Every structure is written in C-alpha cells, then in structure tokens.
Structure 1
Amino acid sequence: MNQTPARRPVLAVVTSTGEAIRFFDGLNYEPLGVLPVAAQPHEIAVDHTADLLYVSHTYRSGVYTDPGEKAHEISIVDPFRRELVDVLPLAPEEAPHGLALDAGRGLLYVTVEVGPAGGGAVVVLDTASRRPVGRIEVGAHRPHWFAITPDGRKGYATSKADPFISVLDLTRGELAGRIPAPYGTEEVAVSPDGVHAYVAGMALHYDGGPAGRPPAALMVIDTGSDEVVRQVSLKAPGCPVHVAADGRVLVGLVATDAEGKSVDGQLSVHGSGGLEHHFDAPVGKVPITIRTTPDGARAFVANLYAGTLHVIDLNTGTVERELGIDPGDQGAHGIAYLV
C-alpha cells in the first residue's frame, strides 16, 4: 500500500530588489525554487489554515526615505506549490506595507501610506472574497507596521514619522487612541496571551537634532490600559520585533560604526515581559524581519543590507546557518515558515 510522504516544512524569504520569493526546505534549508513576483515585495502574512502567503508590494522602486512610484498590490502565493495564486489591486490606496491576519474572522489588515480618503490608514480585506470591506484612518503619516491582539479586537499601527502609536478598535473600525512615542517607532508585536505589545521605540531615521539620539529602548505596552509600563534598554536601535510561541521577545538590533555606516547587527532575545535578557546572537547588516518556528526553537532573521538570512538556535544562542538571499540593496525582507 502506497503512503503519501509526509509534507516537509517550507521557509519563504522575500527579496525586494530581486522581485522574487525564495523557497527553502524548512529542515535542511536546501533551495526549493524562486518565484518571480511584482516589484518590491516587502512583508508576508501567513494563513496556516489555507496554506497561503499574503505579500505586500510597497514601491515600484526606492525605499522609505526615498520612495519612487508607489505600488498598490497584495500577492497571494501557494508556498508548497510555489505558485502565484492571485494579485489583489488596492488602488487607489497606495504603498501597502504592514500585514496582520485574523484567520478566525477571515480578515487581512493592511497598512497603506496614502489613499483617496486621506492619509495613512489600515485597509481591511475579506480573505474569502479577496475584496476590501473596510478602511480605518490611523491619524498618522505613512503608517508602517501593524499587529493585532489574539482576540482580533484591537490593533496597533506604528509610524516612523509620528510621535505616537495608533490604537485601533477593530470591532468598531475606528481609531481608539494614541500612545506617546516621541522618537517614532519601528515594528510592533503582540504576545501570544495578548497581555503585552512590544515596540521598537525609536525610528531608525530619527537623528535627535541638537540633543542627539536618545538611548535605544524596547517599549512594553499593557494592552488593557494601552499604557507603556516599562522601557527595556537595548544595546543598539531596534527595528524588527517578534514574539515566539513561548513568549520570548526577539529584537533585531541595527548597529553602525563611528561614521554611521551599517555594520553587522544582533538578535537580542529577552524573556516574556521583555525584562530578562537571555542572550545576543550575531546577524547581518540591518536586520529587518524576524520569525520563529511554531515550537519556538529556531529564529530566522532577514538582513536587509547584507542580503542574507540567519538561522538561530534559540536554545543555545548559536547561528545554525546563513543563507544567501540576494546581495542587492534590499536583498532580504519578509519571512514565512509553514509546516
């Protein structure tokens, strides 16, 4: 009697410059193939039930600080077949970036930098019909990353350019408040129990003016009160933030030399709540995305300027592998891991 071989995990990594998604075996990291997609793919949201990836395309060319023509698409990809399933045009909304999926309600939340109804917003897509069903103004300039609580009732949008984090009531579909963040913010992630949100508390491009840059810190937010309950000191400015299934908090530290040039960064691993520092592991230049395996045993760190992906053993703090993705200007970005 023939038996169907067990499905092996798949690791997917975006290359923005290369305009493609690269696929690897999720156990031995052997290359599986490359899927060309539209210009400048950025972030990935994973639908583990449907085995699909949602990929945002932010610009046709350029970067956040010097964008060219803005893009307006979400690509839907089958990672096991390595096929493009659909492309969702969001126009006249422009520059989608951050993604958060509420699989239970079948809703995909997408930050857009600008649209016809005003400035930055979160567009709500129905994953069944693949059509927009809502738009929530965030009151911020070019919102970037977005995360939702596990119950799907609340969302947090960060902005590099504004001195606050936008809090959204997703049930009412409206802006519910703002959390002060005077130096701008990078990525936000919510703990599996929904108690805390963690935010890299200073935009990478913040220069501080005459006073200089403030000390780098991770903001810990109580999601019940939407207040910052602690600031955890970091050795260098943080950019990507991710919470593993066991509650450990992972922050990518973006390091520079005395002349301000990018050098290899670090993955900083903290205990639940962010206070207890476990270890730092070496990664490449400008870590931009972090994801983990479902069991929280390994972390994957995409390094934007290095064009590489580091695989970190979270039990030992050692680097297992370094995968070449693309040496271009934005050589590695969004990550997905499916089993």
Structure 2
Amino acid sequence: MNFIISIVLVNVKGCLRWASALALCCAWCAAQATPLTYVVNRDDSNVSVVDVVNKRTVTTIPAGIAMPQEIAISPDGCLAYLSSVWSATIAVLDLGKHQLLAGIPLNQVSNGVVFSPSGALAYIDTNTPGGGAIAVIDTATHQLVRTFPVSPHNTRGMAIHPDGSRLYALEQHRDPDVGQVAVIDPSSGTVLERIGVGTDASDIQVHPAGTLAYVVNRESRQAHGTVTVINTRTHAVAATVAVGKHPSRVAFHPAGNQAYVTNSGDGTVSVIDTASHAVVGVIEVDQTPQHVVFHPAGTHAYVSNPQRNSLSIIDTATQEVHGAVTVGSAPWGVALASNGRETATPQGTNGLEAGSVVAGKPIPISGVWAGLLLLVVGMTALHRHGQKLMG
C-alpha cells in the first residue's frame, strides 16, 4: 500500500512540476502577445516603441528619413512603413528586430500608406507636379511596381476598403469651399467616382464592416469641424456630424460601434455612435491631439499629443484618460501591433500563428488560467492527502 502511495506521490509531484512549467510557459506566451504601440516622433526623426500595458517606452528606432509623420503596419505585424511630406523616401522598419530595414525612393513626397488586406502590396499617397498619384510597392521586395494618377489636385490621405476592392483618396482643391473623395479601383488605377464632402478634409477611414467611410473635415473657417459619413455601396453621403474645433484624425473601435475623432483645436476627442451618427461623448485629452488608435480588444484608445510629447491612454469603458506615456518630440502618427517577436512563431495548418492571434484578435487567456488554477489546486490537495495516508 505504501509503495502504491509513493508512486502516486511521485506522479503528483511530476504533474505539479509540469503544471508549474506550463503556467510559466503560458505567462511567457502572453508576454510575447502584448501589443506594442509605435509612435512617430516627427522632430526627432525616430519611432518610440511603447509598452502600453506598463506605460513605458521600450526602445526607439531611427526613422531613416527627415521628419516622419505617418506610420502603417503590415497585416502580419512584421513591418512598418513611414512616410513624410518632407521626404521622397519611404522608410521600412523591421518590427521583430526594431531596426531600419530599407528605404524606398519615390522621387515624390508622400502623405500616407495603406496595405492591401494580404499585405502583399502597399499603396503610397504621393503628390507630383501633375497632382495626386498613388505609388504601388511590392512589400516582398520593397520595390516600386507602378504609379497611377488620381487627381489634378494634390491628395491628402487615403484609406482602403477591408476587402481591398477600393481605395479612397482625399483631394485638396485650391477652392477652399470644395472637398472631394476620389473612389479608386486599385487593380486598374481607375477613378470610379468623386464624392463631395466638407472643406479642408484631413483624414478618411473605413468602418471595419466596410459599409461606411468617415471623412474628417477641418472646416478651418468655421467654429467647429464635421465628419462626413459615406455609404460605401451607394457612394452617397449618409450624414454629416458636427464635432470639435479643427478635427484631425478618426479611428473606429474594433467592434465598429463607435468612432473617435481627435479635435486639435480644443484638446478633445469626440465619440460618435456609428449607428445613429451622433456624438455621444466628449473626452478631454491634451493640447492639439493628433492621431488616435485603438487596442485590438477595444479596451483602450491611444492619442498622440505633439505639444506635450506624450501619448494619452483612454479607458474606452469610462471614456476617461488613465495616464500618459512620455515619448519623443512632436509625436504624430500612431500604430499598434502585436510584439514583433511573434513573427517567429510556428505557423498552423490554417496559416495563422499557432496559439497567439486569430484574425488579428488576441485569444482570451482567462479560461487557460482558470483551468491551470483548478489543476494545480487539485494536484496539491491530492499530494497532501497522500502525505496523510503515509503518516
């Protein structure tokens, strides 16, 4: 009998060691999946890598171009493309190694970058002597594939439909009372239609479901700016929403139920309900907020503040600012991606990273921790019971 109990105890101790090791392994994997925020510091010409969970800057990456402004991260989270209206080169960053990887010469300054859903192509919004044009980059080779004209006017920002079928470019007309969005077929480079919006448009983003596009209009000569809501199927204007003074950027909550608009003229963020197209909240942040991005889980939003050299952290449940992280000088563009070290994770048969992220959303680990806790508690109780039987 004592021999059998000894064998059981040995097995229990082994199970406890295994459970402890598994718990540590899960903790390590969770740490690797912690999203990192990349903040472009325009005046420092570098990028701050921010651990938003612990509210600290992990490192900085040289941009390799003068006064970078915008940043876009590839769908797999491996690369970041930086653009600047002061540079004719696109900088490519390796987010796994946190270093400059390449420079792509365009011969024209650029306003922004969007990736195709697969990440195989990057579309660059450029301004040429003849007007706005879009440069197409092969992201495997970092080579310019082609360039097609969009408008006789300069363009200022661009968005892509979630299915990759359409590009939307903001046209800058010389007449300040005219604002338009060019709807483009990226496969042919053809402008399909132009949609009238507000004046001095500064940003456009497409709803996660692809049904709507929000255009931010600074309306510089008015007391408040607006957001034009476009039905992407009919290309009709569905609504116009009044927001704060001199709005700058817009971002959609991952669930699609809300949109946040930064108002650089009054230091606030307008919260828009996307079902009613009405402002349902105003969050005070800091002076001249610029870019805004959401955590993949939707729990927080992060806003760059160029005058304070900081990144504000907003709790989306309470719509309150819960601290800030000091970054570099004149932070501008902001993007968020899972830790670049995940790029080395083995691929599953479905092409997704095994056990880390599915469709860009972190797998909840609360159930894993609950199961491990029950296992450890059960094994501990069995171990103690065996000790009592042995006297």
TM-score normalised by length of structure 2: 0.73
Deviation for aligned residue 1:239: 1.3
Partner of 2:335: 336
1:36 to 62, 77, 92: 62
Asked which structure has the greater CA Rg, the reply is 2
Partner Cα separation in structure 2 for residue 215 and residue 35 of structure 1: 37
2:195 to 141, 164, 179: 179
Count, aligned residues: 306
Gaps of 5+ in 2: 1-20, 339-391
Say which structure, 1 or 2, has more relative contact order (CA 8 Å, 6+ apart).
2
> Cα gap change, 1:274/1:98 in structure 2, threshold over 3 Å: closer, same or farther?
farther
Partner of 1:223: 232
1:122-271 aligned at under 5 Å gives the runs 122-161=134-173, 163=178, 164-202=180-218, 206-207=220-221, 213=222, 215-247=224-256, 248-255=258-265, 264-271=266-273
Partner Cα separation in structure 2 for residue 79 and residue 179 of structure 1: 37
Instruction: Give the 3-state SS of the residue equivalent to 2:55 in structure 1.
Output: coil
> Could you tell me the percent identity over the aligned residues?
25
Instruction: Give the 3-state SS of the residue equivalent to 2:109 in structure 1.
Output: strand
Partner of 1:12: 38
Deviation for aligned residue 1:42: 1.1
Q: From the two aligned structures, give the one with the greater strand fraction.
A: 1
- Is it true that 1:108 corresponds to 2:114 in the alignment? no
Partner Cα separation in structure 2 for residue 236 and residue 150 of structure 1: 29
> Cα gap change, 1:139/1:273 in structure 2, threshold over 3 Å: closer, same or farther?
farther
Instruction: Give the 3-state SS of the residue equivalent to 1:58 in structure 2.
Output: coil
More off after superposition, 281-290 vs 308-317: 281-290
1:285–1:306 Cα contact (<8 Å) kept: yes
Q: What root-mean-square deviation, in Å, do the aligned CA atoms of Structure 1 and Structure 2 show? A: 2.0
Amino acid at match of 2:249: P
Instruction: Give the 3-state SS of the residue equivalent to 1:41 in structure 2.
Output: coil
1:203-261 deviation line (CA, Å, top 9, x unaligned): 5xx43xxxxx3752110000011121110111323210111211121101122xxxxxx
Amino acid at match of 1:84: L
Partner Cα separation in structure 2 for residue 125 and residue 273 of structure 1: 36
TM-score normalised by length of structure 1: 0.84
Q: From the two aligned structures, give the one with the greater helix fraction.
A: 2
Amino acid at match of 2:278: E
